[in-house]
Each structure stands twice: as structure tokens, then as C-alpha cells.
């Protein structure tokens, strides 16, 4: 008898995984808020606003890493342009945040400050409805999905793969970055969007709002992991993995790889867009540098460091690399890029399966307990 959808989702993770996920949510939704709001700042157990912002940002990156793992680890499609989808989601939500500034800006105008400075007389047509949270939430999902669908359809239909696909995704991201740098596009040029004030009338810098955004990011990361595990363990996931390993054989038995690749590509783009939308209000800025090729390459490094094709590996990789980045950019800012390059080389040569693969190897070498 066919299992219900809920039962299939529950069965996609084992008991240990559900316990780990529950522990993660308990810490992020209960422990952290208590330590931030109720413990005095002079206490060693106090969680500062900086720590909440840092870990909220890292969780956004972890969602992007899981999205990358879906297409690279399970689909065999290496994208070097996922920063584009992340930035599109961030810009879509940033439009709402800019409209929420209202007349509190430097020019006391209903238009965003950068538009007043550039002598714009009215909002562009594509800013219509940007003062509605629900419309912007719709754009956060739809805009990355449409861009991914159009690009992916023509790329996969032409059977572009391997390094050629990686190159054209990087070219797409670079072209978008150059476009957003232009003032006449209506997205703030090289300065982008910043100086946000409020969400739904509440101050964006208040402790309560910071914790709400932090909690929403934690819930989204947990939901992404559960959804991704269910997807890769389903029939769709098995076919996708087969396409990764032997595409010609899959075509021979009657499956069309185009729609499988396109579906996972669009899903991955949507997850990146949502992560970008959660990232912007926590960090307080979005500009075209988020689309830089280096950022997209860094996403691939997170997945490689953690272990692609594992889902939890990319979360670990994103956390480790970005915590190291936070330390290096403060202590040794001039050496960060050298460290990142060295890390990628060492992982490629010595840890082809990432940190998760290393952990599994060490467990196997210990052998069964007697």
C-alpha cells in the first residue's frame, strides 16, 4: 500500500537525525533567545547581538550550501553562479525594506534616497507593489525560479555539462553583477540597498526582531534539510543520482534527463533566493558584490569542504569556512584568500569526500566495538 506523504517525510530521516534536528531547534529557538534577552551582557553566558547576526548569516549560507549540494552532490551539476540567485532573493526583499524607510531617509522623500539623489521622479514599474510584504515574498521565490528555468532549460536542452556549464553560469553571474552596478537599473548601483529601518512597522535593529529573523532562519534551515533528505531518498532522487552517474543509460531506459535536471536546478535557485531574503535584513545591506564570481566559487568550496552528496556536510562546511573567515578577516585580513585557496587544494587532494567523509573513515578504522 502506498505510504502517505507525511509518513514518507518522517521516514526520510532516522531517529538520530530527528533528535539532532530537534536539539538544533531547541538551541536556536529557546536557549539562544533566553541567553540574549535574560542574561546580563557582563555574563559569560550572554549571547551578544553580534553573535546572533553572525550565526544567522552562517545559517543563511548553510541553506545555500544545501541548495548547491542538491545540484552538485546529487545531480552532478557544478554551478559557479549560485550567488546570482542568492542576490536576486536579497534584492527582492531589499526593495520592501527600502520602501519601509518611508520619509525617514536623508531626503525625507517617499522614494528611496538613491533615487532622489539620481533625480528619479517616480518608482520604476518593477517596483510596483514592493511595499507589500506578501508580494515581495512572492518575488523572492518567483524571480530566481524564472531566471533559473529560462537559463536551465536552454542549457540542459543543449546538453551543456561539465566545465562548460560551470563557465557559463559564472559568466551569467558576472553579467548580472555588471548590470546591477549601473545606476540606471534602479537598484542602487554599486552601493545597493542599505540603511534599513523596519519590517512590518517594527525596528529592524531591535533585539526582538533580530531574534525573530534568527529563528526564522533556523526554521528554514531545518525545513530545507528535511525537504532535501525527502527529495533525494524519493524516486525522483534515485533517478537524479542515476543521471549523475550514467546519464546515457538513464536515457536508454526511457527517462528524459532534461526535466529532472531542470526541476532540481529551479528548486536549488528558489532555496538560494529564500536564503538571500533572510540574509539581507540580518546583515543590513545588499549590493552587487554578492553576485561576484568569487562568492559563487566560495559556495562550491563550502560543499567540498563539508562533503558533497551528504546534505549535512555542506552545513558543516559553510559553518567551518565562514567561522574561519570571520576570524581570519579580523586577525589576518590580507591572508584570508590565500587560506581559502589552500583549504580548497588540501580538501581536493587529501579529503575528496570532505569532513563528513573523513569522519566516516575514522569511524570505520576504529572497527566495531566489542
Model confidence over 283-294: pLDDT tens digits?
A: 999 999 999 988
pLDDT of 199 strictly over 60 = yes
More confident position, 303 or 107: 303
Query: Which residues, other chains included, contact 80 with Cβ-Cβ below 8 Å and sequence gap of 6+?
Result: 166, 167, 169, 170, 173, 293, 296, 297, 300
Q: How far, CA to CA in Å, does 309 sit from each of 78, 230, 260, 314, 353?
A: 12, 14, 17, 9, 9
Among 160, 142, 144, residue whose Cα is nearest residue 258: 160
Distance of CA 317 to the CA centre of its chain: 13
Reported as a pLDDT band with limits 50, 70 and 90, residue 20 is very high
pLDDT of 355 strictly over 90 = no
Among 230, 309, 237, residue whose Cα is nearest residue 12: 230
Q: Across residues 244-265, what is the average pLDDT? A: 92
Question: φ, ψ for residue 274 (rounded to 5)?
Answer: -65, -40
Among 215, 288, 270, residue whose Cα is nearest residue 55: 215
| Predicted pLDDT of residue 368 | 57
pLDDT of 1 strictly over 80 = no
Reported as a pLDDT band with limits 50, 70 and 90, residue 370 is very low
* CB-CB neighbours of 269 under 10 Å: 30
pTM of the predicted model, to two decimals? 0.94
Amino acid at each position: 500500500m502506498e505510504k502517505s506523504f507525511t509518513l514518507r517525510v518522517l521516514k526520510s530521516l532516522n531517529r538520530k537525525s530527528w533528535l539532532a534536528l530537534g536539539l538544533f531547534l531547541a538551541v536556536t529557538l529557546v536557549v539562544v533567545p533566553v541567553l540574549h534577552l535574560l542574561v546580563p551582557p557582563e555574563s559569560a553566558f550572554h549571547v551578544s547581538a553580534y553573535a546572533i547576526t553572525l550565526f544567522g548569516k552562517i545559517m543563511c549560507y548553510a541553506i545555500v550550501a544545501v541548495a548547491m549540494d542538491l545540484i552538485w552532490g546529487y545531480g552532478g551539476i557544478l554551478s559557479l553562479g549560485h550567488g546570482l540567485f542568492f542576490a536576486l532573493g536579497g534584492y527582492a526583499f531589499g526593495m520592501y525594506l527600502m520602501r519601509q524607510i518611508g520619509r525617514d531617509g536623508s531626503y525625507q522623500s517617499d522614494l528611496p534616497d538613491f533615487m532622489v539623489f539620481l533625480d528619479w521622479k517616480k518608482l520604476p514599474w518593477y517596483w510596483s507593489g514592493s511595499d507589500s510584504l506578501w508580494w515581495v515574498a512572492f518575488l523572492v521565490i518567483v524571480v530566481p525560479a524564472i531566471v533559473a528555468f529560462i537559463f536551465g532549460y536552454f542549457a540542459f536542452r543543449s546538453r551543456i555539462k561539465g566545465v562548460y556549464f560551470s563557465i557559463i553560469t559564472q559568466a551569467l553571474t558576472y553579467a548580472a553583477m555588471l548590470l546591477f552596478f549601473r545606476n540606471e537599473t534602479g537598484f542602487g548601483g554599486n552601493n545597493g540597498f542599505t540603511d534599513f529601518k523596519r519590517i512590518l512597522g517594527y525596528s529592524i535593529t531591535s533585539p526582538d526582531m533580530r531574534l525573530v529573523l534568527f529563528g526564522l532562519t533556523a526554521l528554514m534551515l531545518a525545513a530545507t534539510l528535511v525537504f532535501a533528505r525527502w527529495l533525494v531518498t524519493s524516486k525522483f532522487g534515485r533517478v537524479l543520482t542515476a543521471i549523475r552517474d550514467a546519464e546515457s543509460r538513464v536515457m536508454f531506459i526511457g527517462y528524459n534527463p532534461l526535466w529532472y535536471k531542470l526541476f532540481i536546478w529551479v528548486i536549488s535557485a528558489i532555496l538560494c533566493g529564500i536564503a538571500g531574503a533572510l540574509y539581507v535584513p540580518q546583515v543590513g545591506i545588499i549590493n552587487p558584490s554578492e553576485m561576484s564570481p568569487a562568492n559563487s566559487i566560495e559556495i562550491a568550496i563550502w560543499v567540498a569542504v563539508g562533503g558533497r552528496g551528504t546534505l549535512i556536510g555542506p552545513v558543516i562546511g559553510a559553518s567551518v569556512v565562514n567561522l574561519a573567515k570571520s576570524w581570519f578577516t579580523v586577525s589576518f585580513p590580507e591572508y584570508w584568500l590565500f587560506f581559502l585557496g589552500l583549504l580548497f587544494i588540501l580538501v581536493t587532494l587529501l579529503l575528496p569526500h570532505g569532513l563528513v567523509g573523513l569522519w566516516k573513515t575514522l569511524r570505520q578504522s576504529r572497527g566495531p566495538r566489542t
